[in-house]
Structure 1
């Protein structure tokens, strides 16, 4: 008992320790100030980088206006328009052809036999083999897995690239449960179902899984909440898979592309307009103007982006061929900046960045 009292007295009695505690608190305040100043310095450097990129884009535009390119041949223009079918198909085709041209035997999931014939016609060899695959249909997944196993004959599969996806774009208040299920079924549940079906083949080769996410897996933008939900889920699923499969020797990487100018942005506008039209008039009236402004701004950003589908395909190639696969690969300056900002800035600062996009009016 005496020992207890002595301990309490020693703890409560004022001494030089109190002065040292006060100095420590002052040091903590200084360290916090230094940390904030460092964050601000990083943000200033990022702002200067973005200004430099914008200046370069403006100079490039002025150069093209002054010295315009020769008009393309009609056949070339028609081919370019025909190529832009959907964002998902465009990226998948680019990735499949890139890997096939570099010696891989590629099983490319397609939606229909016609899509498969078009893709086969663009290939440089018989190494590209289209497979009809619906990632939301268990029977389709099972049939594709059995076909791959029969073709490989026990050799095993080296890599699986999960890039199936859709984009439900609308204010979350206007997103129906059916639309959200569609987003998650395709982006998350379908990717996991395909992975489960092909894991026995991947284990035979101690192979690799590459899950394609998005910049919205780091920062959730307004009016793309359903899509961001799927991307955050895929990022978390990839982290868990990577840790669970490590004892099997199967690596898991995420490829995170930024804005790429594809027909995706037309789909964003269409699906958002459809959701707003189905919402009650008083609810739709709240969001219609800022949503239209948001779509225009993002279309403009995508148009100015110099990231191309070939850049995406190159990063996928690195993920499946690097001696030691990284956990994440980034495609484009914008996604790198977004990833850094998501780590440095508090939520309140990020919210202020998007405040103008959600403000009614104009």
Structure 2
């Protein structure tokens, strides 16, 4: 994807500060209101598409520094980023980041006439305001042709349109400016996760419908795809932060402790879950009502998608990602509630890494938390 407008392009929003002579591989950095996750990858010589894990780090986002996908306090976030770089000896000053939730407006399957791409750009820019709730001069715009269809006896392009508010993106640009780094691109988090995980099932069954669910920060993002092409997108205003805040409020603990408890939550499916810590047991009970709310919203989204399709195809698989996917047994809970196969994404299995430097157990237990940043770092390699 390539955001266009003010020379912002290539599948994402491009910084105006790009230096074409710099050959450093961009580092993936995923910023939410909860955490800052950094992943540095390196290509493996002679193995196209392969990558080695060079650096991985995570720190808490300064409290109240990020809200609704916007960096409210660039200075404090920049300081936290610089500290990660110093502590981990990261050399590259080029970065790729992501936005999610309502920070990005995604409109799939918009029909446009089959015309030369140069002309199509002009038509999309002219018509984009029909599909977004903001004045065209206030957003960055990107689009990608995802296929062709027959409509009213004529061939039409299926176009995926993505926009993001300039005011919001500019807060990221300012953050990295203060951190003395070059923001190369801004991606969409769900697209980044798609890049991070292997698509074996889609290769075996390209017509299968699947839904990627990112439970992160203040939202849960749903992205229905077929053969890697987005068909439907919805952002639910209930994310991992919602669960964490409920734990903090109901249990009388601070947010830092609530995050630690949330990361160990286990959902009791059949009444046989054994909790070693009464605090974790209580936290697991506190989130049950929210789990039902989330499940209901996901169900509504899936039903809406099915009703909006002219074909009878149904979603067959769900893949969970990001911090919320760390809840033990969440895949079983949602599979039972929704009646579809659910699995947890594992972007680690496609990476090579030194087990003397990186604990396999730690990487496996936290794989979903790193998924977006891994996808961003992979993009950095792909664009070399």
TM-score between both structures, scaled by the size of structure 2: 0.24
Q: 1 or 2, which has the higher helix percentage?
A: 1
Structure index of larger Rg: 1
Higher fraction of strand: 2
